[in-house]
């Protein structure tokens, strides 16, 4: 049966409309994210990640939880190449992130989106300008940028706020703008690091709803969070980091 696409689905290429079934036979390239025996320890604190193994197929949705300082943000940074492992391999779509440098790392990052807790919007730019900058920096033609902006803004519910500056938006709206910026490049993987940490419950649930819609379009979504209510509402697989090690809380539901 063909899945009905959600608003904004024309942003994404055809392969994302049919994510691999979690129980199908997999090859290494089928895993959007594959961590193999990854260790990353910071000498100053002696804290980090130890022998972490994780496999996520295209179309997976995963929460990563754990106490403050457990290594959730470190895990995210390893996946998008802001940190390199001391031992082990971090593979994204079959590519070893830890060995990439310069243009090759930049090229990989264009295939994923990152959402931060503090939004990281540029204050002097409108929301449209903040979102469009991602595509401009990749040399995307203006008409293609315009084509992508409208469905992206619609998906996050900001069509009427497109010409506002970040300071004119609520915290929830700023985070939705951050999500729009992360997805306008049609990523296969979306990493959201504590995306609801600064939001009230109502706005947090709105952000969760958007992330679930994106996952329904076939995007692999990884969210770090302390919000147990959010996890209960989502009914999605959960991994917990404790003492540097990652454990699946409900492994039977993972990809």
Query: Per-residue confidence at 30, pLDDT binned at 50, 70, 90?
Result: low
Beta carbons of 131 and 185 less than 8 angstroms apart: no
Is the pLDDT at 231 greater than 60? The verdict is yes
**Half-sphere exposure (CA, 13 Å, Cβ side) for 141?**
3
Tell me what pLDDT residue 91 has.
95
DSSP element (H, E) containing 207 = helix 201-216
pLDDT at 7 over 80: no
> At residue 3, does pLDDT exceed 70?
no
CATH class of 29-111+187-255: alpha beta
95-146 confidence digits (pLDDT tens): 999 999 998 998 888 889 999 888 999 999 999 999 999 999 889 999 999 9
The helix/strand/coil state of 147 is: helix
Contacts of residue 5, defined as CB under 8 A and 6 or more positions apart, other chains included, come to 17, 217
Element holding 85 (H helix, E strand): none
Q: How many Å apart are CA 17 and CA 218, to the nearest integer?
A: 5
- Identify the CA nearest to 60 among candidates 242, 211, 241: 211
Q: Where are the domains of the chain?
A: 29-111+187-255, 122-186
Number of Cβ within 10 Å of residue 131's Cβ equals: 28
Query: pLDDT tens-digit profile of 188-229?
Result: 999 999 999 889 999 999 999 999 999 999 999 999 999 999
pLDDT of residue 125: 97
């Amino acid at each position: 049966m063909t899945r009905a696409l959600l608003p904004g689905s024309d942003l994404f290429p055809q392969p994302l409309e049919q994510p691999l079934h979690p129980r199908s036979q997999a090859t290494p390239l089928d895993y959007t994210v594959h961590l193999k025996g990854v260790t990353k320890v910071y000498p100053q604190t002696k804290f980090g990640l130890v022998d972490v193994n994780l496999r996520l197929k295209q179309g997976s949705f995963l929460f990563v939880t754990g106490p403050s300082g457990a290594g959730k943000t470190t895990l995210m940074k390893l996946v998008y190449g802001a940190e390199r492992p001391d031992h082990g391999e971090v593979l994204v779509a079959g590519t070893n992130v830890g060995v990439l440098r310069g243009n090759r790392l930049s090229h990989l990052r264009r295939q994923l989106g990152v959402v931060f807790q503090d939004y990281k919007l540029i204050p002097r730019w409108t929301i449209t300008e903040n979102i469009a900058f991602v595509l401009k920096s990749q040399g995307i033609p203006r008409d293609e940028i315009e084509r992508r902006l409208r469905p992206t803004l619609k998906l996050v519910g900001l069509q009427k706020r497109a010409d506002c500056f970040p300071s004119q938006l609520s915290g929830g709206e700023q985070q939705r703008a951050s999500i729009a910026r992360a997805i306008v490049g049609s990523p296969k993987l979306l990493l959201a690091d504590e995306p609801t940490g600064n939001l009230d419950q109502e706005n947090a649930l709105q952000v969760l709803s958007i992330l679930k819609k994106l996952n329904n379009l076939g995007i692999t979504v990884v969210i770090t969070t302390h919000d147990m209510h959010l996890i209960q509402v989502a009914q999605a697989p959960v991994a917990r980091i404790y003492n540097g090690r990652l454990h699946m809380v409900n492994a039977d539901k993972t990809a």
